[in-house]
Amino acid sequence: MKIRGVNLGNWLVLEKWMSPELFAGTTAEDEYYLPVQLDRSVYEARIRQHRAEYITERDFITMRSIGLNTVRIPVPYFIFGDRPPFIGCIAELDKAFAWAERYGLKILIDLHTAPDSQNGFDNGGICGVCKFFQEPEEMEFVQTVLERLAERYGRRKGLWGIEVLNEPVSQEMWEVMGVSKRYRPVEPLKAAGSRGYDMEELRKFYLEAYDRMRRYLPAEKKFVIHDGFNLKAWKDFMQEEKYVGVVLDTHQYLMVAEAMGCEQTLEGYLQYIKENYEPDIEEMEKYFPTICGEWCLFNSLACGRDTRGGQTVLNGEMEKQSAILSEEAKKEIYLALDAAQKAAWDKGSGYFYWSYKLLVDTVSSDSWVGWDAWDLGRCADFGWFEKEVYSEEWD
């Protein structure tokens, strides 16, 4: 069965741009500094209310009605509540499993953050810091988190798989993206020495995780590795007979394609998808079942301005809109990109859209025009995302 999924971004792992009000009254840009700047009681109340309201049972019914069959749930390294001052969220994940099993959905647990970050992005927990692979004690801690997740959920009917680590960044990508400038660290001393992973470091981490998790994870449950922004570097990895159920995850965004020189026109996007996404996914599917774990319809053309790789008003001044598109024109763009990207992901084993929802006002504020394309619920309601046909049931 092809994966037809969506991410529950910003539920258990916070991203400021997806819900700016959560960070009100602070200068925090990431989850690490939020509890530092808020009174403990205020922080706990704010987080618990957010988790209770952002995703509920009704959302799982909605996801099923859109035709989805799988949900990717980003979780933090402190999910078990053993890394103060952060609040654990294992109870919320338990609820998600109950809801998924009730409505015929499967779950991919995605370990989205690591101590001192595996990428230095805001979604990695702490901006501008990337030292996880230099800290053996923290790598060991994360291995224990993965073991505990595998033990707790390995035999649950609702589990599709567990993703070892989201978006570890290579040294090459660290430099190309200018991570330390785009995501400026609050404490330069803490960020000192930050760098991207070395390929051998990442491979070793994945291999150890496999051996430790498979003690609890049945063979039919998927062991998912992220490509580390180097999709075709894994052809010789985990090809031995002992490695079963391994899935390769790649993340492909049109805003990144723009940064790589893709022309900001519909024809440019479609050509890029045809010449890059399709052949690369098809090639890697020969080695692993390959999923696109994150993608969306967001693009600068529909926003009417160059977003410089998806930077928001939170990152600084926005370029003025050079064009204001009609609703009909936007729908035409989105539907074409929806069809083209889904065709590319079907060269592999399916997809997960990023994300199910976000809490920004894309109507009252000119700065957020176009960001509704990140919200799958809105895209489906607006007719930009063709609903899937839920024609198969999971075993």
Half-sphere exposure of 217 (CA within 13 A, CB side): 28
Closest CA to 117 of 128, 130, 107: 130
Domain count for the chain, please give it: 1
Separation CA 72–CA 59 (nearest Å): 13
Cross-strand pairs, 161: 108, 222
Residue 157 resides in a domain: yes
Residue 110 resides in a domain: yes
Q: CB within 8 A of 276, min separation 6: which ones?
A: 257
- Confidence at residue 317, expressed as pLDDT on a 0 to 100 scale: 66
CA distances to 41, 112, 200 from 316, in Å = 31, 26, 37
Q: CB within 8 A of 119, min separation 6: which ones?
A: 130, 167, 168, 169, 179, 196
- Mean pLDDT, the chain, as a whole number? 95
Residue 364 per-residue DSSP state: T
Closest CA to 102 of 53, 152, 156, 158: 158
- Residue at token pair 């990508």: 173
Each residue of 188-221: b (16+ CB within 10 Å) or e? eeebeebbbbebeebbebbeebbeebbebbeeeb
Alpha-carbon dihedral 348, 349, 354, 355, rounded to 10 degrees: 160
Residue 162 resides in a domain: yes
Q: Read off the CATH number of the domain in which 338 is found.
A: 3.20.20.80
Token pair in block for residue 70: 């799988």
- Confidence at residue 389, expressed as pLDDT on a 0 to 100 scale: 81
Q: Residue 247 belongs to what domain range?
A: 3-382
- Confidence at residue 390, expressed as pLDDT on a 0 to 100 scale: 67
Residue 387 resides in a domain: no
pLDDT digits (tens, 9 = 90+) for 35-70: 999 999 999 999 999 999 999 999 999 999 999 999
Residue 358 resides in a domain: yes
- Confidence at residue 365, expressed as pLDDT on a 0 to 100 scale: 78
Residue 114 resides in a domain: yes
Separation CA 34–CA 86 (nearest Å): 9
- Confidence at residue 177, expressed as pLDDT on a 0 to 100 scale: 84
Alpha helices in 154-253 (DSSP H): 171-177, 179-182, 188-191, 199-213
Low-confidence ranges of the chain (pLDDT < 70): 313, 316-318, 322, 390-392, 395
Residue 250 resides in a domain: yes
Residue 343 resides in a domain: yes
- Confidence at residue 167, expressed as pLDDT on a 0 to 100 scale: 98
